[in-house]
Structure formats: structure tokens, C-alpha cells
């Protein structure tokens, strides 16, 4: 039994650009940027949130926030390359970053 596959290109816009976005190096680049830029943003907002949220001495709160931020930065890099798609990597890093930032703003953090 023979199965014939139609190999003619379809002239739709999705398929025209689908080949460009399906290139593997773009996914790796996007994940790398998510790990580097997103991880840094997550670490910075985490440190800021803990510095204003913890009910301990200010110096201890800042130190605790920075230590947790180092761990979260490493976890963000792992997350960026462990997820199924690069979009999930960006969303998985951007969502907690936004929550930490909004929480710090709600607690009265100043820039």
C-alpha cells in the first residue's frame, strides 16, 4: 500500500513565516534571553519584594531577599530550558516577576 504525500507549498501567510519561526536556533535564542534577562528581572523583583515584605530588620530582609533571588535566578534558567516551548518559558518567568513587582508596589516600595 502506497501513501502519497502532497509536497506542494501552500501560499498562506502562516506557512510562509512558519518556516522562519520554526528554526531551532530562534527557540534557543529566545530561551537564552528568557533565562538571562527574565532571570535577572525575577531575581531583582524577588529581592525587592523580600526587602519590604519581611518583618525583620531591614538589613536581614535585604540579605534574605538577595539569597532567595540567587536561587530563583538559577531556577529561572532551568525553567527556561525545561519547558516545552519558549513561550511557556517567557510566561513562566514573567508571571512571578510581575507578582513580585506588584506585591512590592503594594507594600510601598520606592524606586
Share of residues in the chain with pLDDT > 70 (%):
78
How much is the pLDDT for 24? Answer: 80
CA 66, chain centre distance (Å): 19
Is the separation of the CB atoms in 109 and 46 below 8 Å?
no
> Exposed (0-12), middle (13-18) or buried (19+): which is 31, by Cβ within 10 Å?
buried
**What are the pLDDT digits (tens) for 47-92?**
999 999 999 999 999 999 999 999 999 999 999 999 998 899 999 9
Grid cell in block for residue 63: 540579605
Residue 39, C-alpha cell as written in the block = 532571570
Band the pLDDT of 23: cuts 50, 70, 90. confident
Helices and strands of the chain, counted as H and E runs? 5, 0
Amino acid at each position: 500500500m502506497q501513501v502519497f504525500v502532497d509536497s506542494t507549498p501552500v501560499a498562506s501567510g502562516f506557512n510562509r513565516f512558519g518556516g522562519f519561526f520554526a528554526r531551532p536556533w530562534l527557540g534557543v535564542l529566545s530561551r537564552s534571553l528568557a533565562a538571562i534577562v527574565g532571570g535577572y528581572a525575577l531575581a531583582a523583583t524577588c529581592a525587592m519584594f523580600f526587602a519590604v515584605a519581611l518583618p525583620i530588620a531591614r538589613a536581614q530582609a535585604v540579605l534574605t531577599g538577595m539569597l532567595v533571588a540567587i536561587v530563583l535566578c538559577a531556577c529561572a534558567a532551568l525553567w527556561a530550558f525545561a519547558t516545552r516551548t519558549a513561550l511557556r518559558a517567557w510566561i513562566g518567568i514573567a508571571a512571578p516577576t510581575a507578582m513580585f513587582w506588584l506585591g512590592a508596589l503594594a507594600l510601598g516600595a520606592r524606586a
